Structure 1
Amino acid sequence: MRRYSCPVEFAVDTLGGKWAVVILAQLKEGSSRYGELRRLIPGITEKMLTQRLRELEAAGLVERTVESGLPLAVSYSLADDSLRPVLQALYDWGGARAAQVGAEIEPPARR
């Protein structure tokens, strides 16, 4: 296993890049299906969303649930609730910082 010099270094390495954190932030609100995540994260490509969801699932951060029936319904949710306050703090800080610097944030409508 890799050695880290700081817990933040490990956390950033675990969470991955931009899209992984954005996906996790959306999932902190509750489980979502793939199509809903695509609508909520308009800048991500389908290939990147699929790839990041697989990586997050393999890392144990996201759970994938397949519901029987036709068509199959697949939903994604956070695997570890202890991540919710971390994501909320990042969300809150990002909103406050955006307001300070005048950055415009226009989130897509949820469901």
Structure 2
Amino acid sequence: MKHGKEQPDSCGLGPALEVIGGKWKALLLWQVHKAPARFGELKRLVPDISEKMLIQQLREMEADGIINREAFPEVPPRVEYSITEFGIELDNALIPLVRWGKQHAGRTDGQRPGKAGAHTVVTNAG
């Protein structure tokens, strides 16, 4: 078996990170996986994200096919974001990463210089 330098795309990690990489997409995917959500609700659930960044991330996620944007013909206009089947597959692939994060949260928070802690995410956990 040859153990040369692999290109990032050849191992599958490159394409996966192309879709879910960045600071916010996994958090947003998690929120729409729980239930469809409107823009304002997502902004409230992930309060550290700016409005501009939220718009950008939602557009990219829709273009990648992991979320669906549905505009309802109502006054005032209503738009809802929901997870697609493709997004569910990706979300299921992230479950081991979520477990790892929960297990090691105390070890990783605030370890890097300039890092105050984890992202703020509002949950409905009881």
TM range (shorter): 0.7 to 0.9
Provide TM-score, normalisation by structure 2.
0.73
How far residue 102 of structure 1 moved from its aligned partner, in angstroms, is 7.5
Residue pair 2:72, 2:79 contacting (<8 A) in 1 also: yes
How many Å separate the matches in 2 of 1:57 and 1:84? 15
1:33 aligns with 2:38: yes
Residue of structure 2 in register with 1:42 after alignment = 47
- The unaligned stretches of length 5 or more in structure 1 are none
1:47-86 mapped onto 2 (5 Å cutoff)? 47-79=52-84, 80=86, 81-86=88-93
Provide TM-score, normalisation by structure 1.
0.81
How many Å separate the matches in 2 of 1:102 and 1:11? 23
Residue pair 1:27, 1:78 contacting (<8 A) in 2 also: yes
How far residue 45 of structure 1 moved from its aligned partner, in angstroms, is 0.1
For residue 104 of structure 2, what is the amino acid of its counterpart?
Answer: R
Deviation sequence 1:52-77 (CA, Å, 0-9, x none): 10111111111001122111110101
1:90 aligns with 2:92: no
Aligned-residue CA RMSD in angstroms? 2.2
- The unaligned stretches of length 5 or more in structure 2 are 1-7, 110-116
Pair member with larger Rg:
2
Residue of structure 2 in register with 1:8 after alignment = 13
Residue of structure 1 in register with 2:122 after alignment = 108
Q: 1:97 to 1:27 in 2, by over 3 A?
A: same
Deviation sequence 1:58-110 (CA, Å, 0-9, x none): 111110011221111101011222223123333222112114x2747664244
Task: Give the total of aligned pairs.
Answer: 107
Residue pair 2:19, 2:61 contacting (<8 A) in 1 also: no
Residue pair 2:66, 2:83 contacting (<8 A) in 1 also: yes
Deviates more, 1:77-86 or 1:39-48: 77-86
Q: 1:19 to 1:45 in 2, by over 3 A?
A: same
How many Å separate the matches in 2 of 1:42 and 1:13? 24
How far residue 5 of structure 1 moved from its aligned partner, in angstroms, is 2.4
